[in-house]
Structure 1
């Protein structure tokens, strides 16, 4: 957040704001309110309400996906909602996300503090909240695509995807079954993140599925950058104190989803 605007008064104020996703700088209204929180278990350490300051301007979400209503900071930044909670209520600096795969009233879940231990794998790579699909260095992408090309009839590519297939080859099968190849990302320490059909294939037309990964070219700064689609219906946890990322892989394996949490 930048400097305050010249029109600050007792009942209203404006400030300059630059988002880290679009880098747009806008003059917006600064509003203060209380946030009502839900608990996963009884506790005496958290108040029922938390003071919340936010910016009111439609330009803040310009350039973000259609339907975006706002931006909430969950990381280690000066405008982080989570950082304020950690500082005020002395809870662990952890955030767990579960992104739903369906639009509508399926809101998914966000857990802050995460005192209850969840059995997860641990690994490390770049996780992006900007790109919708995982970007892979060319040699990695080609090796991945080869496994799918051998199992399905090719269709004309649909941007931004390079490899698309007939829906009948995969769409008529359960995406959790063996007909759809399982992708295993081997992370630090040999830990594997298994990616199944619901997160590896995306339906772009009635009869066409595409491999939901993007070829990032030769020599990108980050060989593997995980996008939002691959995180859907996966419970993931960010331990910001320890700089660790943990995950469950697809909740569909357990007959569950982020919408059901």
Structure 2
């Protein structure tokens, strides 16, 4: 990642004289924030004050609005929802002035956030980034300057910096203006909520409404969580001088939200028993792919996606036959294993998929399971009536994703290896891996279904991924994070 730091925000502002309500059902009511305090709109009449009064006031304000230090283990938190139709994930944050709840598609590999600015984008604090400015130059290589002949608006201005927002589902892109605007997220000590803090100049891109095609219907853009200096977690971390890291816990159902925690390496408390999942993390290095895979790419610029060093796959402890060279990333960016929240089910290169499916069927036969009619896009399915259900899902052979050593593996239990599908002839459980064909760009793409109810920690400072395997084994779920509000006055 680049070394330059983001511009520091001015003193963070907190919600005052109001309880911050974190409503995880759908959208969060605006009255839950004292937006006049957060946006700085409310101003008292100007008076002449002695200098010593201002000195005292400055000291008082700095004491109240001091940025949390890493030693306090402060995280910024947001709920993650799962869409029932697309099975994609979204998070809710506060954007604009006055602050408004904004739901964005959660994308692990994108470089920068983008928002539809043509539809009801109303803010008093947005700013265009001048073309040729140091900030514009830092955003990318040879960015274009935009000119617009329509009335001025967030998406229309002359001589402004432009970016290329991309939809990771449809692989469509556009050229749009770059903006800064106010963004706020609640804070947490890992178990209870603290006050929201504000980034007054969060950097993102506008996008045309057409770029929303293929995403969940209730989102208005994309929240980037890639390795870029302008992703959401990196901007938050650099603004408040906290670790460049985030923990992701995707929900296992569409009914209750999971959570993302930005800026803290732990603790992460779940359930009323305050189970600290950070103590269950196992670590593997994050691998840098030297070639980006976005529609608009630049020579010499590596991918902002997260790759890991998968070396083998075991089924019930037995290794499957894999061409090891396909698991390494070559100089052209092909091969390897990456994680993607924009891919629903893990996709495997054909030879890897066939080896996994054959071994899984053989191991399942020892459990007296017989393959039944498959349901696309899956090829291995079993009658639900024949499978017992345990606390970690259907009782089927385990799948281990083995990393740099034999004792470092991500165990995939039935809740993540299988998906239940209703049918006229009865329900079936299907192996939730998909054949990605011959010679795909990436040999293994770990999809969202395999990450659900697993805590993943992306430590960018140490370039490593922490994973817990299924938290169901701990007697909790990703929906058990405590979103209860802690009052502040």
TM-score of the superposition, structure 2-length normalised?
A: 0.47
Pick from 31, 49, 73: which aligns with 2:224? Answer: 73
SS of residue paired to 2:188:
coil
Pick from 431, 435, 441: which aligns with 1:211? Answer: 431
Q: 1:64 deviation in Å?
A: 2.9
What does the per-residue CA deviation read over 1:54-88, in whole Å, with 9 as the maximum and x for residues that have no partner? 53643232123555443111222354122211221
CA 1:142 to 1:65, structure 2 compared with 1: closer, same or farther past 3 Å? farther
Deviates more, 1:31-40 or 1:153-162: 31-40
Paired residues of 1:33 and 1:53 also in contact (CA < 8 A): no
CA 1:163 to 1:67, structure 2 compared with 1: closer, same or farther past 3 Å? farther
- Residue 193 of structure 1 is matched in structure 2 by 410
1:6 and 2:148 matched: yes
- Residue 14 of structure 2 is matched in structure 1 by none
1:133 and 2:345 matched: yes
Pick from 163, 173, 177: which aligns with 1:24? Answer: 173
Pick from 455, 461, 476: which aligns with 1:241? Answer: 461
Q: 1:16 deviation in Å?
A: 5.7
- Residue 145 of structure 1 is matched in structure 2 by 357
- Residue 169 of structure 1 is matched in structure 2 by 386
> What is the correspondence of 1:82-121 to structure 2 with a 5 Å cutoff?
82-104=233-255, 106-116=256-266, 118-119=278-279, 120-121=281-282
The runs of 5 or more residues in structure 2 that have no matched partner are 1-111, 113-142, 157-161, 268-277, 285-307, 309-336, 482-489
How many angstroms apart in 1 are the aligned matches of 2:413 and 2:434? 17
Larger Rg: 2
- Residue 230 of structure 1 is matched in structure 2 by 450
How many angstroms apart in 1 are the aligned matches of 2:258 and 2:393? 24
How many angstroms apart in 1 are the aligned matches of 2:428 and 2:262? 39
- Residue 198 of structure 2 is matched in structure 1 by 49
CA 1:41 to 1:232, structure 2 compared with 1: closer, same or farther past 3 Å? closer
What do you get for the CA RMSD once the two structures are aligned? Answer: 3.0
Paired residues of 1:175 and 1:196 also in contact (CA < 8 A): no
Paired residues of 2:203 and 2:230 also in contact (CA < 8 A): no
How many angstroms apart in 1 are the aligned matches of 2:348 and 2:183? 42
CA 1:133 to 1:155, structure 2 compared with 1: closer, same or farther past 3 Å? same
Q: 1:222 deviation in Å?
A: 3.3
Paired residues of 1:18 and 1:24 also in contact (CA < 8 A): yes
In the alignment of these two chains, the number of paired residues is 256
The runs of 5 or more residues in structure 1 that have no matched partner are none
Q: 1:219 deviation in Å?
A: 4.4
Q: 1:40 deviation in Å?
A: 2.2
CA 1:87 to 1:5, structure 2 compared with 1: closer, same or farther past 3 Å? farther
SS of residue paired to 1:199:
helix
CA 1:234 to 1:6, structure 2 compared with 1: closer, same or farther past 3 Å? same
How many angstroms apart in 1 are the aligned matches of 2:442 and 2:178? 37
How many angstroms apart in 1 are the aligned matches of 2:199 and 2:352? 45
Paired residues of 2:199 and 2:239 also in contact (CA < 8 A): no
SS of residue paired to 2:379:
coil
Paired residues of 1:97 and 1:111 also in contact (CA < 8 A): yes
TM-score of the superposition, structure 1-length normalised?
A: 0.83
